[in-house]
Amino acid sequence: MVRYKIPRKPHPVGQEWKVLADGLTNIVIHLEPCEDKEIEKHKWFASDYGSTTGYVLRLTQPWFGSGRTIVGDSWFGSPKLCILLMQNGLYSIFHVKKRRGWPVDYPRDMVQKLDSTYGSYISKTTTIDNIQLIAASLRDRKPQCVIATASTTAKADEVEHVIKNNTSSTIVTFTRPKVFYEYSQAKGAVDINNQVC
């Protein structure tokens, strides 16, 4: 196993693990240590799909075919992974920050097309290998982007956020689409465990 130093982490020196946690209970249900790149590239799924996608497929393999939804941050998410998970009987919702590997107009161009009103959103669907993907952007404190094979953009919950600028703060209230609500409900499960370990 490899030891890492990551200054931004609560405990910066130690072993790095990829973790799967239940989004309802926040209980860790599967984990895998990060190892040397030479070892990683020979692990199951990694030789076919790359290291990052390989991690997710190995962590979720016990639940293949169960119809559960995998929620992940932008480090894991890609259209390729959404499709692979769906082909193995798992839905997904992933946050998007990076442009690499995404359709040419997402996420940057979708964010630029957002209305300036908080709570406004843009969504589009596409079908790849007979699997329908939803791409959506939401005007929040910062623009949010997701890609998913689960959920919808139907209205879900009402949120109230404080928006700060250089001189003042404003409270805004808006209704967000269900896909963003479902992402927000499960996204913190791994981080909650990171804080107590």
* One-character DSSP codes across the chain: --EEE-TTSSS-EEE-EEEEE-TTT--EEEEEE---HHHHTTSTTHHHH-HHHHHHHHHHGGGTTS--EEEE-TTT--HHHHHHHHHTT-EEEEE----TTS-TTTTHHHHHTS-SSTT-EEEEEEEETTEEEEEEEE-SSS-EEEEESS--SSEEEEEEEEEE-SS-EEEEEEEEEHHHHHHHHHTTHHHHHHHH-
Q: Write down the pTM of the prediction.
A: 0.82
Specify the pLDDT at position 44.
Answer: 85
Q: How many residues does the chain have?
A: 197
Band (pLDDT 50/70/90 cuts) for residue 189 is confident
Q: Would you state the pLDDT for residue 128? A: 86
Averaged pLDDT for residues 15-44: 82
Domain boundaries, position 152: 3-196
Residue type, 132: Q
User: Which pLDDT does position 188 carry in this prediction?
Assistant: 78
Cβ-contact 96, 109 below 8 angstroms = no
pLDDT in the model for residue 107 = 61
Lowest mean pLDDT among 89-93, 102-106, 135-139: 102-106
In the chain, the percentage of residues whose pLDDT exceeds 90 is 30
Instruction: Provide the domain count of the chain.
Output: 1
Average pLDDT, the chain: 84
Q: Which comes out higher in pLDDT, residue 58 or 99?
A: 58
Residue type, 107: P
Percent of the chain clearing pLDDT 70 (strictly above): 88
CA distance 126 to 105: 13
- The least confident of 2-6, 162-166, 176-180 is 2-6
pLDDT, tens digit, 9 for 90 and up, residues 59-82: 999 999 999 999 998 888 788 899
pLDDT digits (tens, 9 = 90+) for 107-123: 667 777 888 888 899 88
